[in-house]
Structure 1
Amino acid sequence: MSEIRFDCRGVRVDPYAASPTLLFRLGVTEPEGEAVHAIALRCQIRIEPQRRRYGPGETELLADLFGHPSRWGDTVKPLQFANISIMVPRFTGATEVDLPVPCSYDLEVAAGKYFASLDEGDVPLLLLFSGTVFAKAGEGFTVRPVPWHCEARCGLPVPVWREMIDRYFPASGWLRLHRDTLRALQRFKSDRTLATWDEVVEVLLKEARG
C-alpha cells in the first residue's frame, strides 16, 4: 500500500455548531486504490503569517503581536492554531471528510489577535498530519502510522472567519479582564449612571484623549 495523501479542499463555517467552528474539507487518497478500514487521524494546524502581505491598517494592529515592522524578520513566526483528532471512516481509493475546528474570539490569544487584525485576503495555514492507518491485508489487516511528513497548505479566507464570528458575536466582541478591573469599571459605570458597557468605554476613551 502506498502512502496516504491529504489535501485541504476548502474551509466553511459550521452553521449548526453550538460554538464558533470551522469545517476544513479534507481529501484523503490511497494512490493504489486499495481499501482502508479507518484512519485515526491527528491534525496540527499552524498559521504561517510570513506567507502574506499586510496593509497599513493591518500592520498597525499586528504591532501588538509582532512588534515594530522593522523587527518582523525576526518576530514573525508560525503561530499554533489548533490540534484536532478525528476518525476517517472506511473508504476505497479516495474520500472526503470534514475536520471540525473549534475557534475562540479571545483577543488575549495570539491566534485571536492575528485574525482580528486582518482586513482582507487569506490566512495562510499549514496542516500537519499524523495518526494510524488500519488497512486490509490478505485475510487480516495492517496497522501503520501516517508518515510525519504528510502535510497540506490552504488559505482561510478572512470573510469566512468574519462570517463565523458575526454568527456568534454579531457586531461585537469581548475582552477578558481581571476581577478587580471589572469591579472598578462597575463602580465607574454606577457613579456616572451609564447604561451600557459601550458607554463606559466611550467615556473612558474620550477622557483619555482629553
Structure 2
Amino acid sequence: MSEVSFAVRDVAVEPYAVAPILTARVGVTATGDEPVHAMALRSQVRIEPHRRAYTDDEAAGLLDLFGPRERWDSTLRSFLWLQCSAVVPGFTGTTEVDLSLPCTYDFEVAASKYLHALREGTVPLTFLFSGTMFLRGANGFGVQQIPWDREDHYDLPVTVWRDLIRAHFPNTGWVRLGRDTVEALAAYKSARGLTGLDDAVAGLLAQAREEIP
C-alpha cells in the first residue's frame, strides 16, 4: 500500500498556447516499496475568496457575486473554478507533472468576474486531487485509488492572471449578448457610419450619461 501526497509548486502562463492556459507544476510523492507504474490524476481547482482581504475598489467589482460587505459572512464561500487531469508516467519516490488549466474570460462565468475584480495580491486556490495509481510489484500490477482527502493550497499572484489575459485579449474583454441585441447594435452602428461595435457602445453610453439628470 503506497501513500501519495501532492504539492503545487508553481502556476505559470503557458506561453505558446492558442487559447488562454495556465500550467500548474505539481510535485507528486509516493511512499512505500512498490514503484508507481502510472497514475491517472484528476484535480478540482477551487477559489477560496474568504482567505484574503479586499480593497474598496475590489469589493465594488465583487458586488454581483457576493453582495455588499455586510453580507460577506454568509456569501463569501469557496467555489469551483476548473477541473483538469493528467497522466503521470511511472516513477519511484518523487516526480513532477504539469496540469493544464484552460481558462476563459467570459464574464458570465463566476470565476472570470471574481478574477477581473482583483487588483493586487493573490488568488487563494485549493487543488483537490483524486484518481488512480497503477502499481508495479513482484506479483504483477495492482490498482489503488488516490484518497479523496489529498489537497494543497496555492496563492496565485493576480499578476499571473493579468499577464495571461493581456497576452490573449489585449485591452479587450468579452460580453455575451442576445442575438436581437447584437443585431440592433450592428444596425445602430451601420446607420451612423461607425467603424466598430466599440464605437456604437461608447456612443450609447455617452448618450445615456447626457440623459441622466
What is the CA distance between 1:33 and its match in structure 2? 6.5
Q: What is the rounded CA distance, in whole Å, between the counterparts of 2:189 and 2:16 in structure 1? A: 37
Gap regions ≥5 residues in structure 1: none
What is the CA distance between 1:34 and its match in structure 2? 4.3
What is the CA distance between 1:99 and its match in structure 2? 0.2
| Counterpart residue type for residue 57 of structure 2 | G
**Other-structure match for 2:55:** 55
Is the deviation greater in 165-174 or in 54-63? 165-174
Q: What is the rounded CA distance, in whole Å, between the counterparts of 1:7 and 1:141 in structure 2? A: 26
| Counterpart residue type for residue 187 of structure 1 | A
What is the CA distance between 1:192 and its match in structure 2? 2.1
Alignment of 1:168-179 (within 5 A): 168-179=168-179
TM-score (normalised: structure 1): 0.96
Q: What is the rounded CA distance, in whole Å, between the counterparts of 2:33 and 2:124 in structure 1? A: 31
| Structure 1 residue ranges, 4+ long, deviating more than 2 angstroms after superposition | 31-34
What is the CA distance between 1:141 and its match in structure 2? 2.1
Alignment of 1:4-43 (within 5 A): 4-32=4-32, 34-43=34-43
Superimposed CA distance per residue, residues 48-88 of structure 1 (whole angstroms, 9 cap, x where no aligned partner): 01111111111001001111111111111112111112111
Q: Indicate the SS of the match to 2:39.
A: strand
**Other-structure match for 1:106:** 106
Alignment of 1:1-210 (within 5 A): 1-32=1-32, 34-210=34-210
What is the CA distance between 1:186 and its match in structure 2? 0.8
| Counterpart residue type for residue 126 of structure 2 | L
Q: What is the rounded CA distance, in whole Å, between the counterparts of 2:43 and 2:11 in structure 1? A: 15
Q: Identity percentage over the alignment?
A: 51
Q: What is the rounded CA distance, in whole Å, between the counterparts of 2:193 and 2:59 in structure 1? A: 37
Superimposed CA distance per residue, residues 84-124 of structure 1 (whole angstroms, 9 cap, x where no aligned partner): 12111111100011100100000010011011111011100
Q: What is the rounded CA distance, in whole Å, between the counterparts of 1:202 and 1:34 in structure 2? A: 64
Q: Indicate the SS of the match to 2:203.
A: helix
What is the CA distance between 1:200 and its match in structure 2? 1.4
Q: What is the rounded CA distance, in whole Å, between the counterparts of 1:180 and 1:197 in structure 2? A: 14
